[in-house]
Homo-oligomer: A and B are copies of this chain.
Amino acid sequence: MFMSISSRFAVGIHILSLIEFNKDGVSSSEYLAGSVNTNPALIRRILGMLKKAGLIEVRPGIAGSKLARSLSDITLLDVYKAVDVVQDNELFSVHDNPNPKCIVGKNIQDTIIPILSTAQLALEKVLGNVTIEDVVKDIVEKEERHS
């Protein structure tokens, strides 16, 4: 019915959390793919994005990824920006070329773009207030509750 924000974001969170849980082991792309349940190449693409954003350390030929920052210093907003799911100020698309001869057509973009931007920023602010540490702690809690 509509196209939502790419699951690369959710997968990115999954990957970072799992690297933490497996910090004493080797988190190869194949290992991570096994938990996410997808293809190692897809995982490597996302790892590349996380690396480029400075969230993890990976090196060609060397198996495994490590977090490049402390858990509490990686927010979901960092991940969201890293995996390129949404561009700044472009979550909403606005029709272009409205008729400039019409008062509405002439002004609609300038009127709604700041509003849509505010909405997007509100969303991003929520993501900025949650860290991977919070996610990891919640997973631990849920796991304890189920056992």
Contacts from A to B (Cβ < 8 Å) = 1-7, 9-11, 13-14, 17-18, 21, 34-38, 76, 84-87, 90-95, 97-99, 102-108, 110-112, 115-116, 118-120, 122-127, 130, 135, 138-139, 142-143
Residues of B within 8 A of A125 (CB): 122
User: Contacts A111-B142, A119-B126 given: A93-B37 contact, CB under 8 Å?
Assistant: no
Closest beta carbon of chain B to A117's beta carbon, Å = 10
**Closest residue on chain B to residue A105 by CB atoms:** B35
Closest CB of chain B to A13's CB: distance in Å? Answer: 6
Given A10-B93, A13-B108, 16 new contacts (CB under 8 A): A4-B91, A5-B92, A10-B116, A11-B95, A13-B112, A14-B104, A18-B102, A21-B103, A34-B102, A35-B98, A37-B97, A106-B143, A115-B127, A119-B124, A122-B125, A122-B126
Contact B76 A143 (CB under 8 A): no
Q: Which residues of B contact A85 (CB under 8 A)?
A: 2
Tell me how far the C-beta of A109 lies from the nearest C-beta in chain B, rounded to whole angstroms. Answer: 8
Give Cα A119 to B122, complex, Å: 7
Q: Given the known inter-chain contacts A103-B139, A122-B123, please indicate yes or no for A95 contacting B37, CB distance below 8 A.
A: yes
CA distance A132 to B133 in the complex (A): 41
The answer to whether B17 touches A104, judged by C-beta atoms less than 8 angstroms apart, is: yes
Say whether A143 contacts B103, CB under 8 Å.
Answer: yes
